[in-house]
Amino acid sequence: MWGGSIIGFGSRHYKYESGREGDVAAIGFSPRKAQTVLYLTGDLDGYADQLGRLGPHSLGKGCLYIKRVDQADQAALREIVARSFEVAKNH
């Protein structure tokens, strides 16, 4: 668990130019009432192919919001999660 509501796998260290640094989950998700949030690593623009197949969703900075996971394209979702985890491992 990362915080009170994020289920995370692996970890990665980050450091900003400002000097702020810390550790976060390599990939995480938080099932919420209105939607499920996936916390991803890397520029989400690089996921255009998978996001186009995913189904209804919205994006935030490093976050993917899915209203109904059961209606999302499961193959696309797996590819997004696997790719994000690889980016985090190599970051």
Q: Tell whether 51 is covered by a domain.
A: yes
Q: What does each C-alpha distance from 10 to 2, 39, 89 come to in angstroms?
A: 11, 12, 9
Q: Tell whether 60 is covered by a domain.
A: yes
d(CA 75, CA 3) in angstroms, rounded, equals: 28
Domain range for 86 = 7-90
Q: Tell whether 19 is covered by a domain.
A: yes
Q: Tell whether 1 is covered by a domain.
A: no
Instruction: Say what the pTM is.
Output: 0.85
Q: Tell whether 2 is covered by a domain.
A: no
pLDDT digits (tens, 9 = 90+) for 33-87: 999 999 998 788 888 899 999 999 999 988 999 999 999 999 999 999 999 999 8
Q: Specify the number of domains making up the chain.
A: 1
